[in-house]
Chains A and B, each alone.
Chain A
Amino acid sequence: MGRTLAEKVWDDHVVRRAEGEPDLLFIDLHLLHEVTSPQAFDGLRKSGRQVRRLDLTIATEDHNTPTLDIDKPIADPVSRAQLETLRKNCAEFGVRLHPLGDVEQGVVHVVGPQLGLTQPGTTVVCGDSHTSTHGAFGALAFGIGTSQVEHVLATQTLPMARPKTMAITVEGELPDGVTAKDLILAIIAKIGTGGGQGYIIEYRGSAIEKLSMEARMTICNMSIEAGARAGMIAPDQTTFDYLQGRDHAPRGADWDAAVAYWKTLRTDDDAVFDAEVFIDAAELAPFVTWGTNPGQGAPLSASVPDPASYEDASERLAAEKALEYMGLTAGQPLRDIKVDTVFVGSCTNGRIEDLRAAASLLQGRKVADGVRMLVVPGSVRVALQAVEEGLDRVFTEAGAEWRHAGCSMCLGMNPDQLAPGERSASTSNRNFEGRQGKGGRTHLVSPQVAAATAVLGHLASPADLTDNAATRTPAGV
């Protein structure tokens, strides 16, 4: 019988297989950041172990880094201590590190792909759940806990039970103004936050094949919000074109050998998935969340749902609690929800294409009075590219704040946070209670919806902007 993409990559990494035991998998790439690594390095030190493969390990600083005044010492002593611990650990063990201020610094899931380290058919792990992002390249990429970080540092392997496989097939054309973010939010609303649990999801179908690498990363990134272990997309010419010439992409004869291998990484026609979901791209619309888990979302044209309409008691209770926390009432149109803050950034939507999309809508427009908009590039490289294209000026002229790269308001470990009761439209991936700051309320949106929302002051799609096109100043003025 044929095998799925996930099974092929899995099989290629089995170091040891024994009856009744999890497979021991070899890890091709281990990404580290400051939050989930200190206790792992400590463990190594206590047991007198070394990092087995320094050449397959790389670290960056992202979660705690400030996005303003990065040349000054970090104000929060605890954040500073955590970054200093990473620097000390990397120096002691010899791990390559891109610290704050380095040109390759940025959110770990933006840095791996842009360096060309994330490649088809590799296994990628990081002590961070959004490691699923790297699956966009046809890599098997898992978020792991700190004990596993230590395990990979010491052995370059991980014992893992093989998850089941799920196909999510999206056919057709995405309508205008509908993005990868809307698609993944709609998928999570459909299958639920536990829908992917125990599975590796493979996204496939004509709508997925047409997506850019950036868009594919947005989708795979949020696989974890559907509860999945990982998300993957089969590599194709789009993938190869993205990789060719990047710093760590293979060259010469190695490139040819790699591409020949990568082309085999497709699910066989006769392979069988453990579960299948079908989605018609043409039926999708801009999608936003109204609740406090990523499955609580709806098309922007809809209204806040009535908890009483849920048959399942725990869903009903969850919806009631969410509305209370979010300060919303059932039946309120989503478009009427006013925001104080708009955040464009994160490993979901902080890549150059996301910034371009937001900038193209802000060009010649102004951020509404009373709204603060933060634009935080996913990495220094993304920031430099944006500056080269003049996007930073578009943002600042529109009244948005152009910041330094990092995770920033995605989780508010640095000073970029919502105040209690404040409401944001955010291109990040989690709308959990307090995620962006204690008492803060988050609506997850695409970069396009974020930009339109910033201009109008309430949740809005790009289509809502066309009426006031006349008020737009011409480009470059």
Chain B
Amino acid sequence: MEAFTAHTGRAVPLRRSNVDTDQIIPAHWLKKVTRDGFEDGLFEAWRKDPEFVLNRPERQGATVLVAGPDFGTGSSREHAVWALQNYGFKTVISSRFADIFRGNSLKNGLLTVVLEQSVVDRLWELTEADPAAEITVDLVERKVTAEGVMADFELDENARWRLLNGLDDISLTLQNEADIAAYEASRPAFKPRTLKA
């Protein structure tokens, strides 16, 4: 995973709540068996509308998505995270994320930042008034800054440490091999098995 320390970029204001993962990447894209090439599927249905914010010329090359509450609800598809990253987003800001989406994003190095809705409102106003306005998300300082905006955000220490260092979960877990083996040895015999002995 790529490490995330700080990022500065222009933003896309997405004034919608409950953006579910079916909207982020529709089901027919899920037939792909790779992690890349999902950029054209991102918000596919909405992008048919030339006025949709992602289609506006002034939003090209933007890397910060500022979304409404309950972003990423619904299906657990990690493809939603890959689609956002493939498209070029480095970070998503919202007042509330669905749990599975949040977990997926942090495992892939897409920083999801939770800010109060009032701050999200201010970021929307800022970037709508001036599409060239830049937003900085600093994971070291845990701060979001933009013109007239300075807000702290929380992220649990462990997730932050892994993101800052770009660490892969599996290798970290495998360092605890002895604990896993000890647990396995103590499991009761009645626990289910998919293969019969």
Contacts and interface: CB of A to CB of B under 8 A. Distances in A.
Interface of A: 15-16, 20-22, 24, 26, 28-29, 35-36, 38-39, 42, 47, 49, 54-58, 63-64, 76, 78-79, 81-82, 85, 96, 116-119, 122, 127-129, 143-148, 150-151, 154-157, 159, 161, 163, 193-194, 197-198, 224, 227, 229, 248-250, 254-255, 257-258, 261, 293, 314-315, 317-318, 321, 411-413, 430, 432-435, 438
Contacts of B16: 317-318, 321
B166 interface: no
A422 to B, nearest CB: 15
B69 to A, nearest CB: 6
Interface centre among B30, B35, B174, B179 (most CB of A within 10 A): B30
Interface stretch (B17-25, B58-66, B132-140): B17-25
B192 A78 contact: no
B176 A16 contact: yes
A56 B194 contact: yes
Given A154-B174, A413-B30, A21 B99 contact: no
Interface of B: 15-18, 20, 22-23, 26-28, 30-35, 45, 68-70, 73-79, 81, 96, 98-100, 103-104, 107-108, 156-158, 169-170, 172-174, 176, 179-180, 183-184, 187-195
Nearest to B75: A129
A197 B192 contact: no
Contacts of A16: 176, 179
B130 to A, nearest CB: 23
Interface centre among B30, B74, B76, B169 (most CB of A within 10 A): B76
A29 B194 contact: yes
A438 B26 CA distance: 9
B33 A81 contact: yes
B103 A145 contact: yes
Contacts of B195: 54-55, 96
Given A55-B193, A146-B78, A198-B99, A193 B173 contact: no
B121 to A, nearest CB: 10
Contact of B68 (A20, A129, A157, A314): A314
